[in-house]
Amino acid sequence: MTVLTSVVAPPVPNPVDLLFHTAGRLASHAEAVPAVGVVLHLTGDTPDLTRLRERVARRLHRLPCLTHVLTTDDGPPRWTPRAPDLAEHVTERRVPPGPGRLDDTVRELLHRPLPTATPAWRLVVLSGHATGGYCLALIAHHEVQDAANLVTVVEILLGRDDDTPATAVAALDGGPVAEPEPWRLLDAAAFIWRNTRPHGLWNDPARPLSGRRHVLWREVPTALLRDTGRAYGATANDVHLAALAHAVGDWAGTHRPDARLDPLPVMLPVNLRTPAETGLPGNRFFLARLDLPGGPMTPARRLARTVPATAPLKAAAYRRALHRMTAQEPLAYGQLIAASAAPDRLTAVCSSFRIGGRLSHEGDPVDRVVPVICCPDGFPLTAALFLYGETSTVSFQLDRSLPGAEEIPGLWRRAVDDMATCAPETVPGGTP
């Protein structure tokens, strides 16, 4: 079942797209290939595969990210239309029963090579792991889709048959981006460039990263994150960032004392996508460097200090300055990406995404949305939070060369609970 519909022509690949393209080709191990995904947990009977393929086919005209490949071998880099073969791209997989077998299956899908001659994505129906439930697992190469655009794909594939727009991932409104005042633009630009300075925390030749990955998940009540953030005048993303900084600090205190820095450098994707860009192939974000409070302190104190540290990234002038640079100053943007991606600048990546409303497939409700984040070579670990429904999930990828790194997800959850316990007002839902 090969389908190629009339779709909007995407712009040329940007420096981030090319960075992920190269990272995939030169990955030291299959586990370091930059593949990302999302696993939807649904209640209901396993769907008919033919009907699911037909559903995808009806929506491809709205999703150029599913109908293009990044071409670099013959001429300048470009997005080339390529027909997906839905018999190969939309498949099913029986999961053996037993604890942990679903997670093992998702890990195997993540590390399985994606198509190269056709668009680099795969949608797999997973069943057999639970009575009365199944999963839809979408895996894609990061060169074609960032995590925010995965949300768009999910919204459109599981949405109504009409062209109701998907809006959850649009960071900027549909009108012209207002030009910031010159002094604000200069301040934002100085902040951006200042935070590309080297730190050399994770590229010590005596302790090289391996390219092998622990792939782990941690669940948390959505209300716990939001209520804790509200109690501190913070956001759920602030809670996530502070908890990761605290977890890395706790881990480093035992296993890597030189990484218990204050401040602790962390990278945070800043979404720059407009409504007109939803569904287009490629990446529409900037991986910003942020210095978070490190060193010994309580989780509550760390969250209180994280709020002012993240304030510059929340400012409208900062996002406008980034958007102007990416849209109007490609040379400066390319230089900025190159500086940010130098081995002595790379560090832990912490991201969060929100899926508004409730999703369903042919009446089957989506109960949980589980992210699958990537961790390319040079990065020590990544942690992506997807906020959805009553239970949100963090996807962790951790370099296997870091001793005891698999402890970090548990330390993250403990930090969230400690913040809730010590909040200025009572926050229900924390672990005693």
Name the pTM for this structure: 0.92
Q: From the CB of residue 414, how many other CB atoms can be counted at a distance below 10 Å? A: 16
* Model confidence pLDDT, tens digit, residues 167-219: 555 555 555 556 667 776 677 777 788 888 899 999 999 999 999 999 999 99
**Residues 410, 243 contacting (CB under 8 angstroms):** no
**Which two structure tokens, joined as six digits, stand for 430?**
């924390």
Q: How confident is the model at residue 396 (pLDDT cuts 50, 70, 90)?
A: very high
Strand order in the sheet with 264-271: 213-221, 391-399, 381-387, 348-354, 264-271, 285-292
CA distance readout (Å), 409 to 71, 132, 393: 37, 29, 11
* Model confidence pLDDT, tens digit, residues 272-287: 888 888 899 999 898 9
Q: From the CB of residue 116, how many other CB atoms can be counted at a distance below 10 Å? A: 11
Rounded Cα–Cα distance for residues 381 and 293 (Å): 18
Whether a cis peptide bond, with omega within 30° of 0, leads into 96 is: no
Q: From the CB of residue 53, how many other CB atoms can be counted at a distance below 10 Å? A: 18
H or E element, residue 250: helix 236-255
**Which two structure tokens, joined as six digits, stand for 45?**
């009977």
Rounded Cα–Cα distance for residues 154 and 147 (Å): 11
Q: In this structure, is the dihedral angle defined by the CA atoms of residues 316, 317, 318 and 323, taken in order, positive or negative?
A: positive
User: For 256-361, where are the alpha helices, taking DSSP H only?
Assistant: 299-314, 316-328, 330-340
Instruction: Write out the DSSP string of 162-206.
Output: S-PPP-TT--S-SSPPPPPPHHHHHHHHHHHHHTT----SS--TT
Averaged pLDDT score across all residues of the chain: 89
* Model confidence pLDDT, tens digit, residues 296-329: 999 999 999 999 999 988 887 788 788 888 878 8
Task: Please name the residues in contact with 407: beta carbons below 8 A apart, sequence gap of 6 or more.
Answer: 251
CA distance readout (Å), 117 to 69, 142, 400: 8, 16, 31
* Model confidence pLDDT, tens digit, residues 233-272: 999 999 999 999 999 999 999 999 888 888 899 999 998 8
Longest dimension (CA), the chain: 61
